[in-house]
Structure 1
Amino acid sequence: MPQHTTKNNLVIIGGGFAGAELARNLEKSLPLDWEIYLLSKTNFITYNPLLPEVVGASVLPGHVQAPLRQMLKRTRIRMVTVDRIDFDERKVLYHNNEPGELHFDQLVFACGVAVNTSMLDGLGRWATVH
């Protein structure tokens, strides 16, 4: 279902540190006629440097995660997987349980990288927080 309003849409693809920090700063500076959307597969940020503390049982798994919805008050968060970007039509096509699309006036790629847990034997099995 298309989502287009009379407001301007700024869409951020990526809910990691870069995307979340950008959205947080834009919430303060963008005029109210702009909507901010953050598209991410998850609704939280994981503080990866603290994962060894989880393995060592000095920190609980929930303590290394920050929920995006608590960090961002004005931003509309969509837990989706981006499938395609139609630059001619200015829309992002995505899916979760069903396909959707989102019109954009401005688009930011803040996708980041995936954590490499293969460097230490067992790290992926014991330290990854889902």
Structure 2
Amino acid sequence: MKATVICTKTNSITFEVTAGAKYAQKLIYGSRESRKLYASARNTIEGFNGYVKGSDHGALGDPGRRRAAGLTNQFLFTTLILAASNIRKIMSFIRTKVDATLRSRKPRRRDCRSDVIAIKETPPST
């Protein structure tokens, strides 16, 4: 069997300047502008990964949490853990917004009146 040489230094290939232009990045990777643009998104993703893998939330990093053989079963358990983590995050967000709304609400007028004294009446004992 004869070996085929794929690359040799005797020939060179030239590409046009526009070749692959539709795949070009607008920002140079690692530049100050790209770090400024992508740092927040990357921190968000890494934070969520830590949240899901943490033992107090999803425990996705613990193989004992997904005791099942087969790629399909692992995929199913991973999907369920991620869905539960997303729901937990959404509920936390809603709870925070509702608490902020309740705290910022003005007190009722009848609760602010100083001339009304609330008296608790006790029922007569029989």
Larger % of strand: which? 1
TM class, shorter-length? under 0.3
Provide the TM-score with structure 2 as the length reference. Answer: 0.18
Provide the TM-score with structure 1 as the length reference. Answer: 0.18
Greater length-normalized contact order (CA 8 Å, ≥ 6 residues apart): 1
